[in-house]
Amino acid sequence: MNVVVESRKRFGKMCVEYEQKSSIMENKILNLQLESLSKARFKSKHPVPDIDVDSMKKEVDDFISDIQERQQRIEKLNKSLRNTEQIVLQLKEDKIGRKLRQPLTAEDRITTKSHKSK
């Protein structure tokens, strides 16, 4: 009986060793395949365009500066428009200026007085 048990033990050990060695070899083969795939160069279906990043940055910076200049110009125009509106309102409310614009000749003053008295 001992011989049978011993032979079964040896056979079991050999099976375990074989299984370990075969799994190690499978892992090595898989690693080699992964390495060969990672080293291989694949051609893309669509070519990647060669983009000059520096020129693109320069174009974007130029565009930003152009927009800022236009915005400043619009702000200046808006400010001058507000100033003009204030001046127009002041001129409309200016009573002394209206009196100065009235005619200064004697005949004109007489006619304006006669119109006021009526």
Interatomic CA distance for residues 28 and 20, integer angstroms: 12
SS (H, E, C) 35-70: HHHHHCCCCCCCCCCCCCHHHHHHHHHHHHHHHHHH
Number of residues that make up the chain: 118
Whether the pLDDT of residue 99 is over 60: the answer is yes
Contact (CB, 8 A) for 103 and 112: yes
Whether the pLDDT of residue 118 is over 60: the answer is no
30-75: per-residue pLDDT in tens? 998 888 877 777 777 888 778 888 899 999 999 999 999 999 999 9
